[in-house]
Structure 1
């Protein structure tokens, strides 16, 4: 919803398209940065990066498969099959996975992997912040969501009384378990570093700040 002098109103089609497209772009850039610098990705992306690395898969395909599993979890959490939501989730992950792969390769081609350690950490944290901003925008728009972020929204407002931090930590518990299991089996780990810790402990707070600072007139449509 958008705040106006006369109260709240629904975003127009053009406004919805603008907010959604911008958030998708910001999210893909942020995740691409974190994977390219290898200084730590948000938990789901880090988990996907480890699966891709250990099994020699494309990270784009892993992210798409993850999205399908998150849709199933959301059905369990809401105890209903919401077909328009599911179609929206599928549309989102169909664009999101390939976009992350494109931006990851772009940043690798630009030499981000060869930057100094402080520079890589800086860009990685910027990537984490970009992801939080993107999540904030499209969660408030609540039109088409990535199923993982819809999971956070469901947990936040249906289970944890609006607490973004608790919802995010609960969401992250699944990829944390996957990363731990893979590291024990393959004795190696990628995309887990400073940025992962930042995402794990602060992404919920960053989303809260973005709610207030980035397009503050865009309010949650529940």
Structure 2
């Protein structure tokens, strides 16, 4: 089996990765915070974000570190699910997923604390429209971030590694179809959260928007955001 070569330096790879990590965490928090400051069941957040936040609150309650633990622990589970899809237990790949998820989960918690103090509760039509636009922009940032660090391919978040495995192993590179298929695990998480609590939160029009367009944003960013950055050392198995 051959692997595509790296065409950028280590320094450039790390720079791109840091940019994408910050964009992804901030985009996720934008969807959560704008949703919670209108009504989480009306606006909602990005698909994975909604499922992990809902299941985290269902299992862990509302403690101050719930987002960190939910995003980190569920990410570890997805890393092992990826190993099943790859038909091999690649500890280096799983370790890379965990290396990504630790600072990512910390950034999620930090941005959440920051935005929660900064964003006022929405109580007017115009503020609602503003929050809806920010929510959609958060989804866009997530799609762009996924595109960047998938192309850099140093380490990936487990859920985005899942997307990349499906994209290049099962859907012949189609980002939109791969994104939809990768939404099966968070769908199961959302159902479990509903079974545990009897309610659905963080799922609304923003979630639908993310479901439809996030994969498209990733494919678009491949061509238009850092267009000279190509997929590095791509390896998704035979």
TM-score norm. by structure 1 comes to: 0.91
Tell me by how many angstroms 1:184 deviates. Answer: 4.6
Contact 1:36 1:105 in 2 (8 A): no
Aligned to 1:52: 56
Structure 2 gaps of 5+ residues are: 36-42
State which drifts further: 134-143 or 50-59. 50-59
Contact 1:40 1:194 in 2 (8 A): yes
Residues in 2 aligned to 1:49 and 1:143: alpha-carbon distance in whole angstroms: 26
Aligned to 2:147: 136
> What whole-Å deviation, never above 9, does each CA across 1:160-198 have from its counterpart, x for those lacking one?
111111111111012113213422542322211121011
Counting only pairs closer than 5 Å after superposition, residues 58-207 of structure 1 correspond to structure 2 as 58-114=66-122, 116-207=127-218
Structure 1 gaps of 5+ residues are: 1-7
Residues in 2 aligned to 1:80 and 1:182: alpha-carbon distance in whole angstroms: 30
Contact 2:101 2:157 in 1 (8 A): yes
Note closer, same or farther for the CA distance 1:99–1:9 as it changes in structure 2 (3 Å cut): closer
Q: Secondary structure at the match of 1:219?
A: coil
Residues in 2 aligned to 1:184 and 1:118: alpha-carbon distance in whole angstroms: 32
Tell me by how many angstroms 1:53 deviates. Answer: 2.6
Q: Secondary structure at the match of 1:114?
A: coil
Residues in 2 aligned to 1:60 and 1:93: alpha-carbon distance in whole angstroms: 9
Cα root mean square deviation, aligned: 1.6
Contact 2:166 2:178 in 1 (8 A): yes
Residues in 2 aligned to 1:182 and 1:74: alpha-carbon distance in whole angstroms: 22
> What whole-Å deviation, never above 9, does each CA across 1:104-149 have from its counterpart, x for those lacking one?
1211110254362111111100100000000000011111100110
Q: Which runs of 4+ in 1 moved over 6 A?
A: none
Note closer, same or farther for the CA distance 1:182–1:86 as it changes in structure 2 (3 Å cut): closer
The size of the alignment, in residue pairs, is 215
Note closer, same or farther for the CA distance 1:113–1:169 as it changes in structure 2 (3 Å cut): farther
TM-score norm. by structure 2 comes to: 0.85
Contact 1:64 1:93 in 2 (8 A): yes
Note closer, same or farther for the CA distance 1:120–1:86 as it changes in structure 2 (3 Å cut): same
Note closer, same or farther for the CA distance 1:112–1:194 as it changes in structure 2 (3 Å cut): farther
> What whole-Å deviation, never above 9, does each CA across 1:18-69 have from its counterpart, x for those lacking one?
0000000000100111111113222111011112332315011011011111
Contact 2:45 2:206 in 1 (8 A): yes
Aligned to 1:30: 27
